[in-house]
Amino acid sequence: MGRTVRIGGASGFWGDSSVGAPQLVQQGNVDFLVFDYLAELTMSILAAARGKSPELGYATDFVQVTMKAILREVAGKGIRVISNAGGVNPQACADALQALAAEQGVALKVAVVTGDDVLPLVPALREQGVRELQSGEPLPERLLTANAYLGALPIRAALDAGAQVVITGRCVDSAVTLGALMHAFGWREDDHDRLAQGSLAGHVIECGCQATGGLHTDWEAVPDWAHIGYPVIECEPDGSFVVGKPPGTGGLVNAAVVAEQVLYEIGDPRRYLLPDVTCDFSEVRLEQLGEHRVRVTGARGLAPGPHYKVSATYMDGWRCTAQLTIVGMDAARKAQRTGEAILQRTRELLAQRRWLPFTRTHIEVLGSELANYGPHARTQAVREAVLQVAVMHPQKEALELFAREIAPAGTSWSPGTTGAGGRPSPAPAIRQFAFLVDKTRVAPQVRMGDGEARAIVVPTGQPPVPPPPAVLPEPAPAPAAAKQAMVEVPLVRLAYARSGDKGNHSNIGVIARRAEWLPLLRAELTEARVKAWLGHLVAGEVRRFDLPGLHAMNFLCTDALDGGGMASLRNDPLGKGMAQILLALPVRVPADWLAPAGAR
């Protein structure tokens, strides 16, 4: 294609709204519809489902809800669909979709991408001493799943072969978009700058409405949440693209919204590692073209490295989380004492039975600010709080005992205790284990409707990705003249921010509201000061990365999420609130600085 290609991002995770796909099909004028369904916990859930029935193991909603509603219209309009809904059983997902197409009388050519399952390699990898990427721990004794993040090449091959729908297992989230662009524009495997731009396009829309006003710092400026538009990107052959949304929908697309999503969970922006390309987003530029239209340029690419990242999961005992609501004066202190009493009692009961103690415990008093804001909390006026107690143990029976000891708090201890809502249920404690595997050991395949598996040639043998060049620290701005009045304001008056997770690390992107404010923000937001402000949550170091093109900074806070994801006992295991906490940081600025419209 020599023309603009339009791609709609219809899903950011398994559980996203069912309105996205119909909205994009009916109002988005899209050529491709892409879906992202998979997270690490999702893979374990799907593996358990496949263990119970060989026909399961995929995101069933994709077929039974989404495609059922749009299949005829998608086929009639010639829209091509790419989704990683295949989970751990992509062929079963394709078979179910073909059955649906037959039921609706729709001729449909479906391709399946396989080869991401690397469980058979684990014994050899264990002998080689493979270690977890962040913690350095050895491989667990038994893994539930182990899937390589495949890239865009199998998707491109499937589209080249005429597939109308491509279903994959685990792949890089942005690859569903990059594969479509490589097919549409004929981009080569070594066209690294275009591949970086295409990967950035996929990164912007892979989280659905986060590109159209969802989670935006200035949330009050985002209209009509109930009818928020899902993202549409208009891509050019040179890789540049415009972010927008269907006309008449709610939400907001402006440079600040898109910048927040560009920074989301990228770590070092100069070395965003993907299987198809190594991306440098440090000089990405945004241009507001009009209402709800932002042009994105400036991504640069290097050759990818020699490895695939593998996301594995394993069972680490059992976990159980209980909640109670405490009402009245001193609610936070009453909740804390209640939680401590529950743990003391259940620990003694475990000891009486000669069972092992809890592996881990965690008390949070939600509403008190203590868990998230720590020393910066404002708790004086809290007259209603939610107690959350989370525990882990090797035995399910021990957590069933714990679950029985929650409701008695309603008559035993604090006045104003309510909201028990029945006994909590123990659940398997599934943890993630990430490691690398050489590309030569993974064999992606594409299976078309004829059943023949076609091997996909992926370039291998690349050297390791070189580190980015050292950047000399910029001098701090000169201090304000003595006669210039200074005021202290929260960071939110000067910046936008969004946070997310990278395993046990928290990633916080901070964008100056005005480019000329960046030097002062860099002087205020040193690694040491951010570490001090978030020290009650961040056990490791804080690293700062600069994105001059977006007048932004990205902070990687290591060992910040109590293990992260499925391993964490916190109420916010993915660090979604970290940016909000940082935005409360007080900074000193000249009094004549005026925050732009929408700042609080």
Which one has a higher pLDDT value, 555 or 144? 555
Q: Which domain holds residue 218?
A: 5-115+150-304
**Res 51: pLDDT:** 84
| Stretch 448-467: mean pLDDT | 91
- Confirm whether 472 is domain-assigned: no
**Res 530: pLDDT:** 98
User: Residue 171: beta bridge partners?
Assistant: 150
Expressed in angstroms, the distance from the first to the final Cα of the chain is 45
The CA distance from 578 to 516, in Å, is 25
Percentage, residues of the chain above pLDDT 70? 96
- 264 and 300 both lie in a single domain: yes
**Res 485: pLDDT:** 84
> Can you give the CATH number for the domain in which 336 is found?
3.30.300
- 335 and 272 both lie in a single domain: no
The yes-or-no verdict on residue 543 having pLDDT over 50 is: yes
Lowest-pLDDT range, 86-90, 251-255, 378-382?
Answer: 378-382
- 403 and 494 both lie in a single domain: no
Looking at 384, 406, 430, which one is the last position of a domain? 430
Amino acid present at 16: D
**Res 321: pLDDT:** 97
Which two structure tokens, joined as six digits, stand for 142?
A: 């038994």
Question: How many CB atoms are closer than 10 A to CB 39?
Answer: 18
- Confirm whether 454 is domain-assigned: no
- Return the ∠ at Cα 500 (arms to 496 and 501), rounded to 5°: 150
The yes-or-no verdict on residue 540 having pLDDT over 90 is: yes
The CA distance from 287 to 552, in Å, is 15
Amino acid present at 230: Y
- Confirm whether 499 is domain-assigned: yes
- Confirm whether 140 is domain-assigned: no
The CA distance from 311 to 302, in Å, is 24
- 266 and 329 both lie in a single domain: no
The C-alpha torsion from 97 through 101 and 104 to 105, rounded to 10°, is -170
**Res 452: pLDDT:** 82
**Res 48: pLDDT:** 82
**Res 154: pLDDT:** 98
> 477 falls in which pLDDT band (50, 70, 90)?
low
Which two structure tokens, joined as six digits, stand for 296?
A: 């994105």
Quick check: pTM over 0.85?
Answer: yes
Backbone angles phi, psi at 281, to 5 degrees: -100, 10
The CA distance from 232 to 246, in Å, is 7
Rg of the chain over Cα atoms, rounded to whole angstroms, equals: 25
| Stretch 65-91: mean pLDDT | 97
The CA distance from 100 to 98, in Å, is 5
Per-residue pLDDT tens digits for 273-289: 999 999 999 999 999 99
The CA distance from 262 to 260, in Å, is 6
Integer angstrom CA distances of residue 428 from 56, 347, 514, 565: 20, 20, 47, 14
Block residue for tokens 């050759």: 303
The CA distance from 80 to 292, in Å, is 25
Looking at 411, 430, 449, which one is the last position of a domain? 430
The yes-or-no verdict on residue 476 having pLDDT over 60 is: no
The CA distance from 130 to 123, in Å, is 10
> Can you give the CATH number for the domain in which 532 is found?
3.30.70
- 110 and 29 both lie in a single domain: yes
**Res 598: pLDDT:** 43
- 253 and 318 both lie in a single domain: no
Per-residue pLDDT tens digits for 581-593: 999 999 999 988 8
- 391 and 281 both lie in a single domain: no
- 271 and 402 both lie in a single domain: no
Which one has a higher pLDDT value, 450 or 442? 442
SS3 string of 315-343?
Answer: EEEEEEEEEEEEECCCHHHHHHHHHHHHH
- Confirm whether 120 is domain-assigned: no
The CA distance from 566 to 23, in Å, is 32
User: Residue 319: beta bridge partners?
Assistant: 392, 427
The yes-or-no verdict on residue 478 having pLDDT over 80 is: no
Which two structure tokens, joined as six digits, stand for 364?
A: 């949070």
The rounded Cα 314 to chain-centroid distance in angstroms is 20
The yes-or-no verdict on residue 596 having pLDDT over 60 is: no
Q: Of the candidates 46, 54, 48, 50, which has an alpha carbon nearest to the alpha carbon of residue 14? A: 46
Mean pLDDT of all residues belonging to the chain: 94
Per-residue pLDDT tens digits for 18-37: 999 999 999 999 999 999 99
The CA distance from 161 to 154, in Å, is 11
- Confirm whether 291 is domain-assigned: yes
Integer angstrom CA distances of residue 163 from 29, 113, 168, 170: 20, 11, 12, 19
- 72 and 192 both lie in a single domain: yes
Looking at 279, 304, 329, which one is the last position of a domain? 304
Block residue for tokens 């990705």: 465
Block residue for tokens 């495609």: 67
The CA distance from 2 to 237, in Å, is 6
- Largest Cα–Cα distance of the chain, in whole Å? 79
> 599 falls in which pLDDT band (50, 70, 90)?
very low
The CA distance from 128 to 529, in Å, is 41
Per-residue pLDDT tens digits for 161-213: 999 999 999 999 999 999 999 999 999 999 999 999 999 999 999 999 999 99
**Res 482: pLDDT:** 52
| Stretch 298-319: mean pLDDT | 96
- 203 and 346 both lie in a single domain: no
Backbone angles phi, psi at 98, to 5 degrees: -65, -40
The CA distance from 493 to 520, in Å, is 13
- 196 and 324 both lie in a single domain: no
Q: Are 117 and 308 contacting, i.e. CB atoms less than 8 angstroms apart?
A: no
- Confirm whether 461 is domain-assigned: no
- Confirm whether 468 is domain-assigned: no
> 449 falls in which pLDDT band (50, 70, 90)?
confident
- 425 and 553 both lie in a single domain: no
Per-residue pLDDT tens digits for 409-438: 999 999 999 988 889 999 999 889 999 999
Domain count, the chain: 3
Half-sphere exposure for 494 (CA within 13 Å, toward CB): 28
